[in-house]
A = this chain, B = another copy of it.
Amino acid sequence: MTSSTVHSASDQALEKSGEMDTPPGSERYMHKVSVPPKQNLLKEFTATVKETFFADDPLRPFKDQSKSRKLILGIQAIFPILEWSRSYSLKKFRGDLIAGLTIASLCIPQDIGYAKLANLAPQYGLYSSFVPPLIYACMGSSRDIAIGPVAVVSLLLGTLLQNEVDHTTNPTEYLRLAFTATFFAGITQATLGILRLGFLIDFLSHAAIVGFMGGAAITIALQQLKGFLGIKKFTKKTDIISVMHSVFGSAHHGWNWQTIVIGATFLSFLLVAKYIGKKNKKLFWVPAIAPLISVILSTFFVYITHAEKKGVEIVRHLEKGINPSSVDQIYFSGEYLGKGFKIGVVAGMIALTEATAIGRTFASMKDYTLDGNKEMIALGAMNVVGSMTSCYVATGSFSRSAVNYMAGCSTAVSNIVMSCVVFLTLEFITPLFKYTPNAILSAIIINAVLNLIDIQAAILIWKVDKFDFVACMGAFFGVVFSSVEMGLLIAVSISFAKILLQVTRPRTALLGKIPRTAVYRNIQQYPDASKVPGVLIVRVDSAIYFSNSNYVKERILRWLTDEEERKKAAEPTIHFLIVEMSPVTDIDTSGIHALEELYRSLQKRNVQLILANPGPVVIDKLHESKFETLIGEDKIFLTVADAVAACSPKKLVEEV
């Protein structure tokens, strides 16, 4: 088939077309596919960089401002407190005060427990709820996030550190490594923010996070069985099998019934409080202060009954006073530098994922925007400062942020209030925690982490995307049956595999004409769409790159083979293959190469290749690489309808 015959066919089509969308008799108007105006190389490059790294257009407020104004705006950008504090009112403070007191009452017992998860002395949890919230309040832009140690990061940090140093035999080195990791976690977070690479954390999919969090919650709850049952010899592994072995191995001689009674009583109390808070949203403060009440009651109870002499484990010692400096404790050289760095990067990324998710959720609920990269710098700065003031990795806590929101916080002042309460606690009342039984802390942690198991979300994931569900379950079982790192690794790998699979095996679809329209759609979705005899219309649903160019070529040929086999003898043979290119947003040299091969294979089968609606980038590249001239410019149409109109009449002439 020469190009001229097709051209004349398309001329005929112009005259004869009787499509629904054109009044019979009127000439069918065909608009040409435009090659976009040539872009300046530098301009194009700048646009790409801007879209990749400055997609949120952070410099918009700086446009058209005087120099001094730009400086003020710049300082305000780094310290948003300077901006919002100017419109701060007493009314807002009332909300923040109540919210701050509520989250303080919630965080104090949690901090002590979480520090134990990280294998650190209890005061380090409190330290981490004192300095970091203050820094965040100055630099962060989320109004609802509650800063402090969180369960999952504490567990992760504890596991990773324990792999390097044993905290029972080398407590000093362990502590120093913890500060080193915290320092590098902060550096990682700030660096990602400064380099505007915040989008990297988007590579951990929602489904993988749901699974990971659920698995971590189960693991943490299992770890608490040690304190809850009063077991003295307990495994250092975190997988469910080792833990269960430890628990039931010591069932006959290791459990302490007094501990269990205290733990179970207060766990029931906490769960009832949570239930009340769920039933009546106004009573949100009941579950929020229940932990502190449990601590006070149980401490008092142990103090008067001397239960600690009957084997009930208590906190025993809690350092009084605020954070000492830890600048000289951070390893800046030696073998622990590298280890601390690695642990810090992992812990920092996870902490970031959690804080970003919280920040976004509440920002979208109150409809303000958060600059993700700025947030990362704030979180990073807070952890760097934290690492120098005896804190370990702090981030936003899901449960406390929710309480903060419900208690009516309006700015980050609630974090400052919380920080002040923690300061007073550290200065004056830490000795009173001496008799707090560990079982209570365990009960509080179990109660807190149960919130992280989001069965509803898992069900939705199952409904919406089966592959996502595999990622979710992979992460979950990885954490529960192996270790936190393994779960994380599985989550990240499956997330990446999904992206790669999407890119390697793009969807393709056969199109048909929807009755009474000139619209061509996937015949799988629209079973009433009809195929055009003698013409095969295929849509490719992705950019054609080196990773999929071969697949795309072969898949299109397979559609043709399948169609020819399926076709009944009476139907006309296929002479035209229209490739609908609308979703093909880009093509590279391999892609063009594949199209050339496709064109040649089709020629050998006596089938004409026709392209419909290539986008600006694609038509530009087809033009540059001379592919446009190879298949003929008159084989490229603006719409599928135009393309069909150009080849159907020829079919009628030939076969009828």
Known: A199-B504, A504-B202. A464 touches B592 (CB 8 A): yes
CB pair A502 B558 closer than 8 Å = no
Contact of A517 among B23, B31, B543 (CB under 8 A): B31
Residue A339 at the chain B interface, CB threshold 8 Å? no
Complex alpha-carbon distance, A545 and B500, angstroms: 12
Determine how close the nearest CB of chain B comes to the CB of A613; give it in whole angstroms: 8
Least CB separation from A622: chain B residue: B464
Known: A22-B21, A202-B547, A638-B519. A52 touches B505 (CB 8 A): yes
CB pair B463 A625 closer than 8 Å = yes
Complex alpha-carbon distance, A41 and B465, angstroms: 11
Kindly list chain B residues whose C-beta atoms are within 8 Å of the C-beta of A252: none
CB pair B499 A589 closer than 8 Å = no
Complex alpha-carbon distance, A367 and B597, angstroms: 9
- Near B by CB (< 8 A), chain A positions 480-523 give 495, 498-507, 509, 514-519, 521-522
Complex alpha-carbon distance, A502 and B509, angstroms: 22
- Near B by CB (< 8 A), chain A positions 584-602 give 585-586, 588-590, 592-593, 597, 600-601
CB pair B517 A205 closer than 8 Å = no
CB pair B517 A29 closer than 8 Å = yes
Residue A541 at the chain B interface, CB threshold 8 Å? yes
Contact of A31 among B45, B203, B514 (CB under 8 A): B514
CB pair A506 B202 closer than 8 Å = no
CB pair B502 A503 closer than 8 Å = yes
Residue A196 at the chain B interface, CB threshold 8 Å? no
Residue A375 at the chain B interface, CB threshold 8 Å? no
Determine how close the nearest CB of chain B comes to the CB of A590; give it in whole angstroms: 4
Complex alpha-carbon distance, A503 and B48, angstroms: 14
CB pair A503 B503 closer than 8 Å = yes
Kindly list chain B residues whose C-beta atoms are within 8 Å of the C-beta of A22: 21
CB pair B583 A541 closer than 8 Å = yes
Residue A305 at the chain B interface, CB threshold 8 Å? no
CB pair B586 A583 closer than 8 Å = no
CB pair A205 B545 closer than 8 Å = yes
Kindly list chain B residues whose C-beta atoms are within 8 Å of the C-beta of A518: 21
Least CB separation from A465: chain B residue: B588
CB pair A589 B207 closer than 8 Å = yes
Stretch from A87-95, A397-405, A549-557 contacting the other chain: A549-557
For the complex of A and B, list the 6 residue pairs with the smallest distance between their C-beta atoms, beginning with the closest: A583-B583, A205-B546, A525-B616, A541-B585, A206-B590, A21-B21
List 7 A–B pairs whose Cβ atoms lie within 8 Å, in order of A's numbering. A34-B525, A199-B550, A202-B547, A202-B548, A464-B592, A499-B503, A582-B582
Q: Told that A464-B589, A525-B615, A541-B583 touch, could you supply 20 new A-B pairs with CB distance under 8 A?
A: A31-B514, A31-B516, A34-B525, A34-B526, A45-B466, A52-B501, A55-B558, A56-B554, A205-B546, A206-B589, A367-B601, A464-B588, A464-B621, A499-B499, A499-B500, A502-B543, A509-B615, A519-B639, A525-B616, A542-B542
Chain A interface (Cβ within 8 Å of chain B)?
A: 21-23, 29, 31, 34, 36-37, 41, 44-45, 48, 51-52, 55-57, 199, 202-207, 360, 364, 367, 372, 457, 460-461, 463-468, 495, 498-507, 509, 514-519, 521-522, 524-527, 541-543, 545-551, 554-555, 558, 582-583, 585-586, 588-590, 592-593, 597, 600-601, 604, 613, 615-617, 619, 621, 624-625, 638-639
